[in-house]
A and B are shown apart, each in its own frame.
Chain A
Amino acid sequence: MSGEKQDFFDNPDNIRKMLRVFYGLCAALFAADFVIHRHTEFRWEGLPGFYPIYGFVGCVVLVFAAKWMRTFLMRPEDYYDRRELADFDAADSGEPTEEDPTIYLDGGQDRG
């Protein structure tokens, strides 16, 4: 990054500040449940913190389930192409089919 203009999100301080504001908003929204009266139609809906907990737990479950699905659904990127495009000239397809499978980007952690 040296020599380049430092952009907003390159500065870890900015991100830390933004996250702090975000956590504050989350806490305020959670607290609002105890202050604001909501009209409810579903029996669990009236519990304080139902929506925040449902949203948080739902997403965590979603991500873990999806990671688990990867263990049996994931195939190499050229899984179909190897056979289906056997007749096509590699130059004709115009898209790279071989990728280094060890490239991990942000959030990097091995799939488990």
Chain B
Amino acid sequence: MVEVAPFIPFFLAAGLGLFLRGWARGLLFIAVPVLGLANLWQLGASVPGLEFGHYTILDFNLLLFKADRLSLLFGYLFHIAALLSVIYALHVRDTLQQVASMLYAGSALGAVFAGDLITLFIFWELLALTSVFLVWARRNGRAYMAGLRYFTLHILSGLLLLGGVIFYSQAHDTLAIGQIGLDGSLFENPAGWLIFLAFGIKCAFPFFHGWLIDAYPESTPTGTVFLSAFTTKVAVYGLARAFPGTELLVYIGATMACFPIFYAVIENDLRRVLAYSLINQLGFMVVGIGIGTSLAINGAVAHAFNDVIFKGLLFMSMGAVLHVTGKINGSELGGLYKKMPKTTVLCIIGAASISAFPLFSGFVSKSMVMSAAIKNGYDGVWLILLFASAGVFHHAGIKIPYFAFFAHDAKLPAREPPVNMLIAMTIAAALCLTIGIYPQALYSLLPYEMSYTPYDVTHVLTQLQLLFFSALAFVWLNLRHLYPPELPSVNLDVDWLYRRLVPDIMRAGFTRLFALDNRLRQAALSGVERLVEGIASHHRAEGVMARNWLTGSMVAGVVLLLGVYLILGWF
């Protein structure tokens, strides 16, 4: 059996994609995830704990491919995500974007199957390097600036990871990836904390989430679909691998689940709303990893799996709206259900899935995390997550479809998007429903064995009550005109710190520095001037050095000199 690391076909296809055009490239790019999935399925079916691809760099024994149930699940997921995104982007004729997206998907697969930390680091940086082109592919000023900021933060994440790996290699004999943990303070365990922070940046932890809501909505309609699938999920995988059961993660996750929904309610750019809800969903996964029981970890990775598909579906539907109308702000959209009925239905399926309606995919994974939270005594966190569940329905479940497709009819010229977009969305919607109706298919792939039934009377009833009454709140607020209207606006978030505050401080600092520099120059110049003036004044007419010497005084000098000689000659 030939053993091929899953990232290799993607990289080869990207190389070939540079020379192919049109349908040939499209066919190749569709074939790669399909064949890759078959390859991975075969690899996963062989021996548990499969590994190959040993190589050596600088005395380190490195491992290109190591698979267990956890990484295999993410592997399958990334193939499915790549396939959906490629189909969605089939109509695109942009070599830069298409090649970068293949390299990006491949890098994510490389990172997930990396057997050691150095290999992980290499793919970690490749993820940043390849994905930034998807932001720049929009080819306008905003995308260019957002891409630069995105790239800077991700390279920083990579450098932190490298620093962590160096500390780790000093303390351990091996660089194999396993539990790292956060035992001890920063000084006792620098490797753990640095790696944690590196993962945290990629996972959009609070205060490090600016890049996500900044860059993702600036990408192309198709680029955002790729972006939403890979980077953050690789970070979730890393956390599940290296930091399961770290209690800090429970509180970080609860914060992530909670704060973005406030922003999402008042955000105008609908893809930015989805970016906020991406952080909100990551929060549920991070809580699950933090709890660390087998049910919680299963819930976290299952939710990651579902999130890629339903968030992908939502980004695809909003991408379709942007592609067709050229607009994405809630204040400019509305009434599109008449001209885009298929997209509307598909978007609503995605919205129902993210809101965790029974029979949709979010329900079967979110309830695992919730159950785990309450079983392990995190009552406060459970209440926060419940609030976040109601909130996510409010902004992603209702606001997105409502303001894009219903609401006030903006009478935009629109039609259904290209057929490949519809096909990709249909497949994603079908997956959402399949997993929601038959969750055992997903559960059988999860890392831990377990018996969990999401569909019992209590779960279904309570979830329906929660969702219906959040919807009731929306209806009531909207009828009473209390709902905040969509306004063309920018809301300040942490990215304000490095987009406004730091530049402003630097600008003020530089202004002061220039003023000081100016004063010093002035002082030095005037000093030199005075010196020159002083010297010149002695040489000017009437100056000491410019006076005439009298002949008499010259003679007197000579006489004095001769006299000295005479006296010297005397002796």
Bound complex: CA A41 to CA B467 (Å): 20
Give the distance to chain B from A34, nearest Cβ to Cβ, in Å.
12
Is A58 in contact with B470, judged by CB distance below 8 angstroms?
yes
Residues from 46 to 76 in A contacting B, C-beta threshold 8 Å: 51-56, 58-60, 62-67, 69-70, 72-76
A30–B263 CA distance with the chains assembled, in angstroms:
30
Q: Are A55 and B470 in contact (CB under 8 A)?
A: yes
Interface flags for B367-389 (1: CB within 8 Å of A; 0: not) read 00000001100010010001100
Known: A65-B262, A69-B262. A59 touches B481 (CB 8 A): no
Distance of A104 Cα from B486 Cα, bound (Å): 7
Number of interchain pairs (Cβ within 8 Å): 206
Contact of B391 among A32, A53, A62, A72 (CB under 8 A): A62
User: Is A11's beta carbon under 8 Å from chain B?
Assistant: no
Pairwise interchain contact A52-B469, C-beta atoms closer than 8 A: yes
B407 with A58: CB separation less than 8 A: no
If the complex has contacts A73-B491, A75-B491, are A59 and B470 also in contact, measured as CB distance less than 8 A? yes
- B468 in contact with A74 (CB, 8 Å): no
Give Cα A61–Cα B45 distance, bound, in whole angstroms: 50
B211 located at the interface, meaning its Cβ lies under 8 Å from any Cβ of chain A in the complex: no
Would you call A3 an interface residue if the criterion is a C-beta within 8 Å of the partner chain's C-beta atoms? no
Pairwise interchain contact B266-A94, C-beta atoms closer than 8 A: no
User: Which of B55-63, B115-123, B455-463, B536-544 faces chain A?
Assistant: B455-463
Residues 16-48 of A, flagged 1 when their CB comes within 8 A of B and 0 if not, give: 000100110110011011001011111001000
Q: Is A99 an interface residue (CB 8 A)?
A: yes
> With an 8 A cutoff between CB atoms, is B330 at the interface?
yes
Contact check, B486 vs A105: say whether CB atoms are below 8 A apart.
yes
What are the residues of chain A within 8 A of B334 when measuring CB–CB? Answer: 105-106
What is the minimal beta-carbon distance from A76 to any residue of chain B, in angstroms?
Answer: 7
Please tell me the size bucket of the interface on B. 35 or more
Q: Which residue of B lies closest to A80 (CB)?
A: B499
Beyond A9-B337, A39-B458, whether A26 also contacts B469 by CB under 8 A is yes
The answer to whether B475 touches A19, judged by C-beta atoms less than 8 angstroms apart, is: yes
B410: nearest chain-A partner, CB-CB: A105
Cβ of B481: which chain A residues have Cβ within 8 Å of it? Answer: 107-109
* Chain B residues within an 8 Å CB radius of A13: none
Kindly list chain B residues whose C-beta atoms are within 8 Å of the C-beta of A45: 462
CB distance from A38 to the nearest CB of B (A): 4
Q: Which residues in window 453-496 of B have CB below 8 A to A?
A: 457-458, 461-462, 464-478, 481-493
Complex Cα gap A23–B403 (Å): 22
Give A68 to B387 CA distance when docked, in angstroms: 18
Q: How far does the alpha carbon of A58 sit from the alpha carbon of B465 in the complex, in Å? A: 13
Complex partner residue of B382 from A42, A59, A109, CB under 8 angstroms? A42
Write the chain B residue with the least CB distance to A23: B472
Q: List 13 A-B contacts (CB under 8 A).
A: A25-B468, A29-B461, A41-B375, A55-B473, A59-B469, A67-B266, A73-B492, A74-B492, A77-B488, A80-B490, A106-B334, A107-B486, A109-B485
Known: A29-B461, A99-B331, A103-B331. 14 other contacts (CB 8 A): A10-B409, A32-B461, A32-B465, A41-B374, A42-B374, A42-B382, A62-B390, A63-B482, A66-B484, A69-B263, A76-B488, A84-B141, A88-B144, A108-B485
Which B residues have a C-beta under 8 Å from some C-beta of A? 140-142, 144-145, 261-263, 265-266, 268, 330-331, 334, 337-338, 374-375, 379, 382, 386-387, 390-391, 394, 403, 406-410, 457-458, 461-462, 464-478, 481-493, 499-500, 503
